[in-house]
Amino acid sequence: MDRRIVAAAFAGMLALAGARSATAQTAPASSAMDALAYTIFNPVPDSAMRSFNTDRPTKSNVPFTVDAGHFQYEMDLFNYTRQVSGTTRMDTWLAPNPTLKIGLTNNADLEINIAPFASAHTFDSASGMSSTVTGTGDLLARMKINLWGNNGGQTSFALIPYVKAPTAPVGIGNGAVEGGIIAPLSISLPNDFTLLFNSEVDALKNSASAGYHANFTNLVNVSHPLVKDVTLYVELWSSINEDPLRTVRQVSFDTAVQWTVRPNFAVDAGVNLGLNRDTPAVQVYAGVSQRF
């Protein structure tokens, strides 16, 4: 899909957000007032917490926030990516890769992500030359703001603005401050299927010149329980990076499984397969999530 289709999809989601705002007001007034009373300083009682939801596995983000005053981590135990370009191969490892979340209000949470160890190994089969860069990853800070559906309903929608601080060495990161906004929309379907759309617009640093350019990302994700507490995810992901040097289009097919071992604890594993030459050929990961 080209930029106009991506932009239209994103605009459609924002229009839907406005159209659904009235739906979000259908909860009883007393219930809404109770929800507003909860903050990071006045936590939601354990008995009133929402169902456990995570942004992992796969590349998708869900529109649900962490309950006010509660903490959640979602972490890659390991994350391996292989990228092949001509005769050059790059192998990247993150171990671990935690995202830390804290509920600020009933409908907003703060999220911080940084990988304490990252390694990128590059090998050129034509020349036989290789190099390895190690260090921490970039620091990502996000705010997830749910606009409706946090406490149930047929649909749920959120906005996730984020900023990236360049804490990674060049070779793992690009040394630039970048940012963007993600818009996840979740739709409950019959027979326990869930349909999830994510649209994202980023401002990325130009690779060979001063200034920034747009990056557009979209995905569609379908999930369904396999057995009790075990869910299968299937996803199609695409990205259009409009770098002035060269527009890069990426597409991947992603699949994963998550097992909710206990009500506030889950483990997962997944694999992402690149569908064109600009996309990493394979990404494999396993992780764990827990809420307190």
Please state the domain extents for the chain: 3-291
Distances (CA, A) of 162 to 99, 147, 159, 178, 216: 13, 17, 10, 9, 15
Q: What integer best gives the mean pLDDT of the chain?
A: 90
- pLDDT at residue 37 in the model: 84
- pLDDT at residue 133 in the model: 95
pLDDT higher than threshold 60 for residue 27: no
- pLDDT at residue 36 in the model: 65
Which of 18-32, 83-97, 195-209 comes out lowest in average pLDDT?
Answer: 18-32
Please give the angle made by the CA atoms of 6, 66 and 156, to the nearest 5 degrees. Answer: 40
Quick one: average pLDDT of 34-50? 87
% pLDDT > 90, the chain: 84
HSE-up of residue 271 (Cα within 13 Å, Cβ side): 5
Q: Torsion angle, CA of 16/257/145/105, rounded to 10 degrees?
A: 140
* CATH topology assigned to domain 3-291: Porin (2.40.160)
Could you tell me the pLDDT band of residue 35, with boundaries at 50, 70 and 90? Answer: low
pLDDT higher than threshold 80 for residue 8: no
Q: Which residue has the tokens 């009933």?
A: 106
Q: Which two tokens stand for residue 92?
A: 């990247």
- pLDDT at residue 34 in the model: 56
pLDDT higher than threshold 80 for residue 109: yes
Q: What is the pLDDT of residues 237-283, one digit of tens each?
A: 999 999 999 999 999 999 999 999 999 999 999 999 999 999 999 99
- pLDDT at residue 159 in the model: 98
Q: Which two tokens stand for residue 35?
A: 């929800």
Q: Report the predicted TM-score, pTM, of the whole model to 2 decimal places.
A: 0.86
Q: Which residue has the tokens 């089969």?
A: 125
Q: What is the pLDDT of residues 275-291, one digit of tens each?
A: 999 999 999 999 999 99
Quick one: average pLDDT of 16-26? 40
Which of 23-37, 108-122, 175-189, 195-209 comes out lowest in average pLDDT?
Answer: 23-37
Q: Which residue has the tokens 């370009």?
A: 85
- pLDDT at residue 54 in the model: 98
Q: Torsion angle, CA of 72/172/273/279, rounded to 10 degrees?
A: 130
Q: What is the pLDDT of residues 157-174, one digit of tens each?
A: 999 999 999 999 998 999
Q: Judging by beta carbons within 10 Å of its beta carbon (0-12, 13-18, 19+), is residue 280 exposed, middle or buried?
A: middle
Quick one: average pLDDT of 114-127? 93
Could you tell me the pLDDT band of residue 119, with boundaries at 50, 70 and 90? Answer: very high
Cβ distance 220 to 236 under 8 Å? yes
Q: What is the pLDDT of residues 47-94, one digit of tens each?
A: 999 999 999 999 999 999 999 999 999 999 999 999 998 889 999 999
**Cα separation of 106 and 127, whole Å?**
56
